[in-house]
Amino acid sequence: MAVVALHEGTRPSGVFTRHDIHGDTVVDCDVVIVGSGAGGATMAAELAEAGIDVVVVEEGSYYGTRDFTADTSAMIRQLYRDGGATMAIGNPPIMFQEGRAVGGSTVINGGMSWRTPEPILQRWEHEFGLAGIARELEPYFDRVERRIHVAPMDESAIGNDNWLLKKGADAKGWKYVGNLRNQVHCIGSNRCAFGCPTGAKQSALVSYIPRALHYGARVYADVVVDRITRHGKRATGVMGHVRRPDGSRGHALAVRAKLVVSACGAIHTPALLERSGFRSPSGLIGHNLSLHPNVKVVAIFDEDVTGWKGAHQAFQVREFEEQGLGVFAAVNVPPSILAMSFPHRGAQLGALMQQYNHMVLAGLLCEDTTTGRVRTLRGKPQAFYQLNAHDTANMQRGLVLLSELLFAAGAKRVLLPFAHAKEVATPDEAHRLLDKPIPTHGWEVVTVHMMGTARMGADRSAAVTDFHGQVYDADRLIVADASLFPTPIRVNPMETIMALATHAAGHVIDNTRRLLS
Amino acid sequence: MKPTTRAVLRSLVPVVCPPEAVPLTEAIVDHMGLALDASPALLRTGLDVGLVAYDLGAIARHGKRARSLTGEAAERYFRSWEHGITPMHRQMAHGINQLMSLSCYEQPEMMERVGYRPAPWIAEVTKKRLTVFADDIAKQDRQILAPDPLRRNRETTSDLIAAKKVGS
C-alpha cells in the first residue's frame, strides 16, 4: 500500500529520482504536470483516477515522513527552495519561502485549510467575469476537504501560545475562529514548517501523491524543467534535466505529452511560461503579484509558555478581516529561527533567548492592495514588490492591535518588527510609538503566500487564463496553482489552489477528446 | 567556504553570538557553511565579497584586518558597520547577524540552554498518536486510496485508444 510505504519513509513505486535516471531519457504520457504541490498533486490524482496517463515532474527530492526530524536547518536545506533565502526586491525586501520537495509547499505549510471567503469570490465574479464561481467551486471544496481531512484541532493538542492568543481575543471581545487544518489527530509536535514528523498533517505528500501513484501516475523527482516544448501555440511536453545534489545539471529528461499543466507556484509558473515563449494577449504574465505581507511581534510573558509543545496555529483572530488585516495568529518557531529575527547580538541576544520558553510569536497577515511583479532574468524568476503607504499604515495599525491583544493576555513586554527592534511594555507605549509613520526600510516583512502572476478571468485582454486555467492564446496548456488568483484572498491559499485544480481536472476529463486526442 | 570567509566569520562569533557560544565557534562556522551552500548563488557571492570588504576595511581604522581584531576593537568595528553610512554596510552587518544567530542556536548545546528539546517531544507525541488514534489513522489511509472518481461514466483514454484501434 502506497500510504504505508510513504509513512515508512521508503520510496514507493512510481516515484523516480536522480538515482533512477541513468542517461538522457524520453518519457511519453497524456498529461505532464510541472510541480507536485497543492495544485499539481491534486490534478495528478484526479486525472490518474480517471484513467489518464500522468507524469509529474518535481524539482525537489522525495522525502517520507520518517525523514522529517528535529534538525531544523537540515530540513530547511532539504525542503525549502534556496534554503529559504528567497527574497522579493523592494524597500523593505520581503523574504518569502517556497517548498521544494515532492508535495511542494504543502510539506512545509501550517496546514491551514480555508475556503476562499465569499466576498473574495464575489469580487472575482464581478471584477473578473468569473460568473457563478462560488456555486461552481463548492462541490470541489467539499471534495478537497474530504480528501485531505480538513478538521478542527483536537483541544488537547493546542499549545499555551495559542491559548494565550485566545485569552487576549476574549479579553478584547474580538472575533476569532478555531483553525481548520488538514490533519488527522495532529498531536502538536509543532514541526509543520519542517515536514510533519508524525504524518498527521495531510499534505499532498501523504494524501494526493499516494492517491495519484495508486492510480498509476508517475512522479519524477529531482528534475528541473527548463521549458515547455511547443509546436506553434500548442504545448507538447517539457524538457528538463536532473538536479544533482550539488545543484549541477545531470541527464536530460524529455516528457512528451498531449497536455501540459504548470503548477510550480506563482513565482516559477510565469518564468516557465515566459522562457518557453508563451505570450499572453493581456501582457500580464508575471504581473499582479500579491504577497499577503506578514509582520510579527514577540511577546514575553512571566508564565511558562513552551509554545513548541502544541499545534501550529490553533486559532485565528478575524476581527479586522474586512479592514485588510485578514488574520492574527500565534506561531511557534524554533530558537534558531527566532534568534535570526532579532537584531540583538552578543550577551544581549543570549539574555533575550533565555526567555525563549516565555515567548509568544504572533503575526498578522495583510490583504495587500498593491501588486508586484515577477520578472524573468536570464531564465530565472525574480520577484519585485514595493509595499505601498496604505498597506504599511494598515500593518502598523495591526501591530498596535496585536500588541493590545497580547498585553490583554498578560504579556509583560512586546518586541516590534523593526530593524532596530523597539520594545514596548504597555499598550499606550505601543500606541505612542506606532502613531507616527515608521520608515519602511526598517520593517521586517515576510510571506509564504505568493499569488496572482497568471491570473484567471473571462476577458483575455485582462487575464492570462480562463476559469479552467487554460492559458489564453496557447493550446493545451493549463495553469493550476496560486498564480491563478485574480486578487489576494485574505486567508491561507492551499484549499483554494486544490479546489481550482480539481475544477481544472474535471474540465480535462470532460474534454478528453479535445484535449488528449 | 573560502579560507578568508571562514577566518572572518570565526572572528565574528564572539561579537555576534552570546559568550557561552564562543567554545562552539568551529561548529557555528561549519553550520553557516552548510546554510550558505543551500542559498542562492547571488547571496553567497555577495557575502564573500562583503566579508573581504569587511576584513580589509579594518586596516584603515585599526591597522589590521578584521579577522585579527579581538575584544572591544572587534565590537567597535562591527558596530561601525551596523550603523554604517551606506545601506550596503548596514545590510551586510544585518545579514551576518541573522545567519550567525541562526547557526548559533542550531547548536544542540544552545538549544538545550534555552530549554528547546524537540526530538524527545516528537518521539513521545508520535507514539501517543499511533497508539490512541490508530483506528482513525487507518481509516484516513484507506480513504486516500478508495475509488471516488471525479466524473462517472466517462470515456477513459484507454477507451479512446481501444475505439481508435477498432475503427482502424
What domains can you pick out in chain A, each with its CATH number? Answer: 2-82+96-149+195-281+451-516 (3.50.50.60), 152-183+292-367+388-442 (3.30.410)
pLDDT value for A9: 55
Contact B8, B55 (CB under 8 A): yes
Identify the sign of the CA torsion A494, A496, A500, A503.
Answer: positive
Say if the Cβ atoms of B136 and A185 lie within 8 Å: yes
Say if the Cβ atoms of A353 and B148 lie within 8 Å: no
CA distance A239 to A345: 47
Q: How confident is the model at residue B162 (pLDDT cuts 50, 70, 90)?
A: low
Q: How confident is the model at residue A385 (pLDDT cuts 50, 70, 90)?
A: very high
* Residue keyed to cell 511577546: A299
Say if the Cβ atoms of A350 and B97 lie within 8 Å: no
pLDDT value for A16: 97
Contact B128, B53 (CB under 8 A): no
CA distance B159 to B168: 14
Annotated catalytic, A126? no
What average pLDDT does this structure show over A257-264?
98
* Per-residue cell: A451: 499569488
A chain contacts of residue B137, beta-carbon cutoff 8 Å: 184-185, 199
Strand bridging mode A315-317 / A423-424: unpaired
Given a cut of 80, whether residue B157 has pLDDT beyond it is no
What average pLDDT does this structure show over A297-312?
96
Q: How confident is the model at residue A427 (pLDDT cuts 50, 70, 90)?
A: very high
pLDDT value for B85: 82
Lowest model confidence (mean pLDDT) among A108-112, A205-209, A358-362, A435-439: A435-439
Which tens digits make up the pLDDT trace of B14-32?
999 999 999 999 999 999 9
> Which uninterrupted H or E stretch holds A353?
helix A346-353
User: Would you tell me which residues 45-74 of chain B have a C-beta closer than 8 angstroms to some C-beta of chain A?
Assistant: none
SS3 B12: helix
What average pLDDT does this structure show over B64-81?
95
Q: How confident is the model at residue A1 (pLDDT cuts 50, 70, 90)?
A: very low
CA distance B90 to A122: 45
DSSP letters along A249-310, please?
EEEEEEEE-SEEEE-SHHHHHHHHHHHTT---TT--TT--BB---EEEEEEE-SS---TTSS
Q: What is the 8-class DSSP label of residue A173?
A: T
For A132: left if phi > 0, alpha if psi spans -120 to 50, otherwise beta; the answer is left
pLDDT value for A439: 82
Spell out where A59-124 has E strands.
86-88, 94-96
| CB neighbour list of residue A115: distance below 8 Å, 6 or more residues apart | A141, A495, A496, A499
Given a cut of 80, whether residue A477 has pLDDT beyond it is yes
> Dihedral angle at the C-alpha atoms of A395, A399, A402, A406, nearest 10 degrees?
160
Given a cut of 70, whether residue B161 has pLDDT beyond it is no
* Per-residue cell: B52: 573581504
Given a cut of 50, whether residue B168 has pLDDT beyond it is no
Which tens digits make up the pLDDT trace of A314-325?
999 999 999 999
> Chain B: nearest CA to A184, how far in angstroms?
7
B chain contacts of residue A82, beta-carbon cutoff 8 Å: 38-40, 43
Given a cut of 80, whether residue B57 has pLDDT beyond it is yes
Q: What are phi and psi of A474, to 5 degrees?
A: -140, 160
> Chain A: nearest CA to B4, how far in angstroms?
22
Spell out where A8-114 has E strands.
15-16, 25-28, 31-34, 54-57, 86-88, 94-96
pLDDT value for A247: 86
CA distance A357 to A342: 16
What average pLDDT does this structure show over B132-150?
96
* Nearest CA among A178, A175, A169 for reference residue A150: A178
Rounded to two decimals, the ipTM of the complex is 0.90
CA distance A285 to A473: 12
Which tens digits make up the pLDDT trace of A434-471?
888 888 877 889 999 999 999 999 999 999 999 999 99
Is residue A92 reached through a cis peptide bond, with omega within 30 degrees of 0 on the bond before it? yes
What average pLDDT does this structure show over A291-306?
97
What average pLDDT does this structure show over A32-52?
98
Rounded to the nearest integer, the mean pLDDT of chain A is: 95
pLDDT value for A432: 87
Chain B contact present for A389, CB below 8 A: no
User: For chain A, what percent of residues have pLDDT higher than 70?
Assistant: 98
What average pLDDT does this structure show over B87-95?
90
Given a cut of 50, whether residue A3 has pLDDT beyond it is no
Q: How confident is the model at residue A420 (pLDDT cuts 50, 70, 90)?
A: low
Q: How confident is the model at residue A421 (pLDDT cuts 50, 70, 90)?
A: low
Say if the Cβ atoms of B149 and A50 lie within 8 Å: yes
Say if the Cβ atoms of B154 and A509 lie within 8 Å: yes
Q: How confident is the model at residue A8 (pLDDT cuts 50, 70, 90)?
A: very low
User: Would you tell me which residues 115-154 of chain B have a C-beta closer than 8 angstroms to some C-beta of chain A?
Assistant: 115-116, 118-119, 121-122, 125-126, 128-129, 132-133, 136-137, 140-141, 143-145, 147-151, 154
Q: Helix B134-145 to helix A133-147 angle, to the nearest 10 degrees?
A: 130
Contacts made by residues A78-85, CB under 8 angstroms, sequence distance 24+: A79/A107, A79/A108, A79/A194, A79/A195, A80/A108, A80/B38, A82/B38, A82/B39, A82/B40, A82/B43, A83/B35, A83/B37, A83/B38, A83/B39, A85/B38, A85/B39, A85/B40, A85/B43
CA distance A214 to A207: 11
Q: How confident is the model at residue B155 (pLDDT cuts 50, 70, 90)?
A: low
CA distance A502 to A49: 12
Rounded to the nearest integer, the mean pLDDT of chain B is: 90
* Residue keyed to cell 504520457: A29
CA distance A272 to A292: 23
CA distance A23 to A21: 6
Which tens digits make up the pLDDT trace of A52-96?
999 999 999 999 999 999 999 999 999 999 999 899 999 899 999
pLDDT value for A2: 39
